[in-house]
Structure 1
Amino acid sequence: MFARAGAAGLSVVRTWVHTNDPKFPFQTGPGVYNEQAFQALDFVIAEARRSGIKLLLSLVDNWKYYNGVDQYVDWSTTAEPRTQARPSHDWGDPDPKRGQDAAQELYELRRHALFFNDTSCRNLYKNHVYAVVNRRNTFTGRLYKDDPTIMAWELLNEPRCETWSVPQCEAILQNWIEVMSAYVKEVDPNHLVTIGSEGFFGSSSSLAHMNPKSWAGDMGQDFVSNNAVKGIDFSTIHVWPDHWDRHDDEFQAKWILGLADISARVLHKPMVVEEFGKKLPIDGRHLDNILRLRDPVFQETYSAIEKSLVNGLATGGSIFWRWDLPMFEGAGRGEYGVAPEDSTFDLVTQHATFVNRWTTSQPPERHCKCECWIPHSDVFTRTCKNLPKVCDAYWEVMAGANELNYTAALNALQRTEVQLGHRLIALRGLQVYGTKSDCCHPGLGAFPKGCTWYPSFSA
């Protein structure tokens, strides 16, 4: 899978540092690890490194019981012991309506909220973080905290602390993010840290109208305050048309572009569209369903991300859910599985090419002794030219971009044109590279197939 991902231009894979399957526990008890499972993770990291893939590793899951939030609460020595049988581990689809009776649902949600504030739960989480970052990989010999194959740690997959059941949840979750992000940075200062949240706004936020539906305001998250925390290096959002019952293309684009704008303008941090996908009928993964149902969702998502990149917003990448990896005999690909032979995967690789080109294209800083190469093409040639005036104009506009006038700088960038001889070159959406080889690199440079070269132009 890693080899095929690399060949397709993909660079990051997200996976778990836990388990949601009782047959394969990662922790068999609080702080007690299944060595065979840990060695399996060692192998995953070693193979990713061999294929040039980076990993985004999620430390705990909000949804499934095994090694998830609810099991931590049951392991706690300071929380009240459980008085009701725990829910089936199959429960936990991210849907506010869980199919439980009202009393059971309220009990479970209040118990779930203890994870974020209970003393023993916090200590168990910290112990887990410490054990993981100080793990020595049995295949590479490196400590996890020293391994550049790991791009980032994710605090918790889709943290939710529901305010309708515990009114203090928003403040409790905010404090948990502040404390735990600082702790991860303390024990591992080498890696990026993100939350893993969906991007909701609290119900009292002036931006709550951006939420997919009103229930999202009660999930305890607040995109701005949560991601403004010093220990959080980049924001994440998820996009789930099926789980959220928001199938309109207009919402999807507004959600991605709106949060990218806030991440750039308010947080000054990059944003990753960390999860998105489209469910297919369990018995209906036929070609027509992929083309009719799934591909349009991927196209709409990628279109919004590409628009945000061209407009200079903070989108740093996207991760689709999920690669079909049939590890277990007879398991099938599941409702969300995307296989390399699907038409969807063609959309993935096309988008990867676009993102690689745009994220590689960065105007050199003013103080660097770099050149300023931009693409130039006509009917016969694809080449790059060194045009220092373009970079000078760019930094003239963006000089104050990191201050409160970030939006004004971006707006000015959209309007600015540079006079070069008889040509006017617009800065909006212009790709700029520090070297000619960067600009002409096939796939990563200005042109998917690289520059054209002719013997007469060799000088």
Structure 2
Amino acid sequence: MSMGRGMDRRGFLGGATLLAGCATVPRAPAAAAPGFVRREGMRLMLGDRPYRFVGANMWYAAYLGADAPYGDRARLGRELDTLKAMGVTNLRILASAEEGPLRNAIRPGFRTATTTNAALLAGLDHALAEMAKRDMRVVLYLTNFWEWSGGMMTYLSWVNGGRYLDMNDPAHPWPAFANFNAQFYGDARATGLYRDWIRTVVSRTSSATGRPYADDPTIMAWQLANEPRPAGDVDHADVAQFTAWVRDSARLIKSLDPHHLVCTGSEGLKGTLERPEILLAEHGVAEIDYLTAHIWPNNWDWVRQTDLAGTYQRGETLTRDYIASHVRLARQMDKPLVIEEFGYPRDGGSNDPRVATGYKDRFYRLIYAAALRDMGEGGPIVGTNFWAWNGEARAEHSDYRFRDGDRHYMGDPPHEPQGWYGIFTGDTTVRIVADHAAAVARLPQTVR
């Protein structure tokens, strides 16, 4: 997952049922279970110690885990071993992809309007089991605001007679896609299908371990969606409707699974129309356990990848301010904060892993220094997940574009240039991540 990023995107500067017998059966309330990450005020806890982490995004883990032509379990194991050696202990991965008409959506999906992909769900089972062997924790997101995994636009197309918009369609420039997508929150048929998927996954029993997902402490949190937004602009935003969707979805998950945390997957202020009151309403829902923030200086025009030397300083200042704003909001809500996506281009905007990452490394150091400082001061930041892990994958085509049938999955999703933001094995950024992980591990294991 990542944001629905496109080179021409300007960000924000200024029903029918899937499966028979899917009725919700609430699980009995339970006290905090041993081995599960839990929230206490602004902290995440594991046992009697603070849970802090250095993490990565690896949306494609279930695809590698599938026993199918598109799977590669041997590579999955190698990538997890590499990440573990770096000190990465938390992964954010895709647990849904809606297969439909969108031009840039990954195929196969986890589901169509009427069927599920058993092999891909088993791939998710396998991936979780492999992560458990390495003492990693996982955040699973359950749909996407953006088109690259189908997401909300595909749900709408299933119930509205096939109408949809593609992201970055010149005939429908920004914010048309996001405004159309916002219809999802108020469409009972579309959200009904989404809730069916929640029941399917949250109530699943792993084919790899025989353990119900709801009883698996490998899962740190369920996430409602990747980067849900109330709309593309204020005129199209029904904030009450959006907040009700957050509340009702989170309550459903908690009714099925009382052990795990729930979060929104929001970009933060960029995902709430730059309105703190919307962010506070969205994350003030009692069932939402922590805040999330995503940071994309290049996508938000804070920097220009063709002139990083001339624009980096501005991006650095805005990044510091963005983090500080979210720390203040998290303190106000007395909830933890995770910087769960942040990305930066290679020098010159290249997609070639042979090109240096000097400015990217500087950006990572900025993020990590802010996180480490806040952790050391007892603040709300509890972890980070960089976007994203490319590992040993390499682009299959000279134009760095992903095409249907490609199997060298990497952290840059199929709608983006392959290599744009992800970290490859051999990048100097790997050492930046490892050094930060070691610094986090040295923090006192006591609650301030």
1:298 to 2:364 alignment: yes
Distance in structure 1 (CA, Å) of the matches to 2:119 and 2:137: 23
Query: 2:136 aligns to what?
Result: 53
Q: Which TM-score applies when normalising by structure 2?
A: 0.68
Do 1:116 and 1:122's aligned partners in 2 also have CA atoms closer than 8 Å? yes
Segments of structure 1 that go 5 or more residues without pairing to the other structure are: 92-97, 204-215, 364-459
Query: 1:231 aligns to what?
Result: 287
Distance in structure 2 (CA, Å) of the matches to 1:256 and 1:106: 25
Match of 2:170 among 100, 103, 109: 100
Match of 1:186 among 255, 259, 281: 255
State the Cα deviation string for residues 285-320 of structure 1 (Å, max 9, x = none): 435x312x2111101111111222233210001000
Query: 1:375 aligns to what?
Result: none
State the Cα deviation string for residues 113-167 of structure 1 (Å, max 9, x = none): 1211111112111110000011111110011111111110110100123263754
Distance in structure 1 (CA, Å) of the matches to 2:321 and 2:395: 40
Q: Structure 1 residues 199 and 126 mapped into 2: Cα distance closer, same or farther (>3 Å)?
A: same
Do 1:110 and 1:166's aligned partners in 2 also have CA atoms closer than 8 Å? no
SS of residue paired to 2:112:
strand
Query: 2:436 aligns to what?
Result: 351
Query: 1:69 aligns to what?
Result: 152
Distance in structure 2 (CA, Å) of the matches to 1:319 and 1:202: 18
Do 1:19 and 1:67's aligned partners in 2 also have CA atoms closer than 8 Å? yes
Q: Structure 1 residues 114 and 65 mapped into 2: Cα distance closer, same or farther (>3 Å)?
A: farther
Distance in structure 2 (CA, Å) of the matches to 1:272 and 1:323: 18
Give the counterpart letter for 2:132 in structure 1: R
Do 1:316 and 1:359's aligned partners in 2 also have CA atoms closer than 8 Å? no
SS of residue paired to 1:318:
strand
State the Cα deviation string for residues 234-272 of structure 1 (Å, max 9, x = none): 1100011111112321111121122113202x1111100
SS of residue paired to 1:27:
coil
Q: Structure 1 residues 282 and 18 mapped into 2: Cα distance closer, same or farther (>3 Å)?
A: farther
SS of residue paired to 1:319:
strand
State the Cα deviation string for residues 403-448 of structure 1 (Å, max 9, x = none): xxxxxxxxxxxxxxxxxxxxxxxxxxxxxxxxxxxxxxxxxxxxxx
Distance in structure 2 (CA, Å) of the matches to 1:72 and 1:201: 24
Query: 1:12 aligns to what?
Result: 90
Q: Which TM-score applies when normalising by structure 1?
A: 0.67
SS of residue paired to 1:324:
strand
Distance in structure 2 (CA, Å) of the matches to 1:137 and 1:257: 40
Distance in structure 1 (CA, Å) of the matches to 2:386 and 2:271: 26
Do 1:299 and 1:347's aligned partners in 2 also have CA atoms closer than 8 Å? yes
Query: 1:25 aligns to what?
Result: 109
Two-structure CA RMSD over aligned residues (Å): 2.5
Give the counterpart letter for 2:153 in structure 1: D
Distance in structure 1 (CA, Å) of the matches to 2:293 and 2:158: 30
Q: Structure 1 residues 7 and 99 mapped into 2: Cα distance closer, same or farther (>3 Å)?
A: same
Query: 1:262 aligns to what?
Result: 329
| 1:202 CA drift (Å) | 8.6
Do 1:159 and 1:196's aligned partners in 2 also have CA atoms closer than 8 Å? yes
Matches within 5 A, 1:33-432: 33-64=116-147, 66-76=149-159, 80-83=160-163, 86-88=164-166, 91=167, 98-102=168-172, 108-162=177-231, 164=233, 166-200=235-269, 216-217=273-274, 222-247=278-303, 248-264=315-331, 266-280=332-346, 281-287=349-355, 289-291=356-358, 293-326=359-392, 330=396, 331=408, 334-358=419-443, 360-363=445-448
Do 1:163 and 1:170's aligned partners in 2 also have CA atoms closer than 8 Å? no
| 1:39 CA drift (Å) | 0.9
Structure number with larger C-alpha Rg: 1
Give the counterpart letter for 2:111 in structure 1: Q
Do 2:178 and 2:232's aligned partners in 1 also have CA atoms closer than 8 Å? no
State the Cα deviation string for residues 163-214 of structure 1 (Å, max 9, x = none): 63754422221111111111111111110000000111798xxxxxxxxxxx
SS of residue paired to 1:360:
coil
**Corresponding pairs, count:** 332
Distance in structure 2 (CA, Å) of the matches to 1:329 and 1:313: 40
Query: 1:94 aligns to what?
Result: none
Do 1:62 and 1:68's aligned partners in 2 also have CA atoms closer than 8 Å? yes
Q: Structure 1 residues 284 and 328 mapped into 2: Cα distance closer, same or farther (>3 Å)?
A: closer
Give the counterpart letter for 1:224 in structure 2: L
**Greater relative contact order (Cα < 8 A, sep 6+):** 2
Do 1:170 and 1:221's aligned partners in 2 also have CA atoms closer than 8 Å? no
Q: Structure 1 residues 65 and 116 mapped into 2: Cα distance closer, same or farther (>3 Å)?
A: farther
